[in-house]
Amino acid sequence: MKGTIFYWLKSYLGFSNKESRGFLFLLPFLTILLLIPTLFGYIRDQAAEDYQLQFQGKIDSLRRAGVELVSSPDPVFNPEDTIKNKLQAEDQQFQNLNKIPLSQADSATLQIVPGIGPAFASRIIKYREQLGGFHDEGQLLEVYGLKPETVEELLKYFEFDEMITQKLKINQSTETDLAKHPYISYSEAKVILAYKKQHGDYQSTEDLKAIKIFKPEWIDKIAPYLVF
């Protein structure tokens, strides 16, 4: 058999015995190189078929879950459809939840909001208690680390209600009592008490504005938490 091949290579291709041996040595490698494109094509087609089957399985699962899918000109994949489906699923989630007032939210319920875990939930509750309640949505941005987009998500799930549950009796409070409030430092508390000692009890925020060291914006900020 080998001799026949050598004879054929010598007669028809003009190969010498040495060249014939070299050709036979390379022949398996040449065959593999020729088959590689076909092999890769088969693998690619198989992978595409598997992906389409998996994608169709996901579509069927979403349909069974009651998610309405948006038709797409691309039968395999359309990123826009995925985003629309996600938004529809979120809207459905909102419909299944009662919006409760933020003043009544506890640490557990706050964690239903995307982006709020146990740490953020605990910070929000703690800051609300330290203030004595929120009276403005902007105060949520004062919670350490809470971003505007997270606050926006929070207000999708909870109804903001102005609810101050605890106020400072400015004429009866000690320096320590006043300084416990996040908006009042010890130095500010000292000035408040020193002015009261010299001029008597405060009657309104106008008395605080008579203390020239205090900025009007700061007085307006603490005013909702004071009782005269």
Q: How far is CA 36 from CA 28, 43, 104, 139, in A?
A: 12, 11, 67, 65
Sign of the four-CA dihedral 84, 86, 87, 88: positive
pLDDT, residue 60, reads 62
pLDDT (tens digit per residue) in 80-107: 555 556 555 555 555 667 889 999 999 9
What's the one-letter identity of residue 174?
T
How many Cα atoms occupy the beta-carbon half-sphere of 28 within 13 Å?
A: 2
CA 217 to CA 215: how far, in whole Å? Answer: 5
CA 165 to CA 167: how far, in whole Å? Answer: 7
| Whether the Cβ atoms of residue 192 and residue 200 lie closer than 8 Å to each other | no
pLDDT (tens digit per residue) in 21-65: 665 666 676 677 677 777 666 677 676 666 666 666 656 655 655
Alpha helices for the chain (secondary structure H): 2-12, 17-64, 79-95, 107-110, 118-131, 148-157, 175-179, 186-199, 205-209, 216-222
| Whether the Cβ atoms of residue 133 and residue 165 lie closer than 8 Å to each other | yes
Quick check: pTM over 0.75? no
Q: Above pLDDT 90, what percent of the chain?
A: 57
| Whether the Cβ atoms of residue 191 and residue 181 lie closer than 8 Å to each other | no
pLDDT (tens digit per residue) in 135-178: 999 999 999 999 999 999 999 999 999 999 999 999 999 999 99
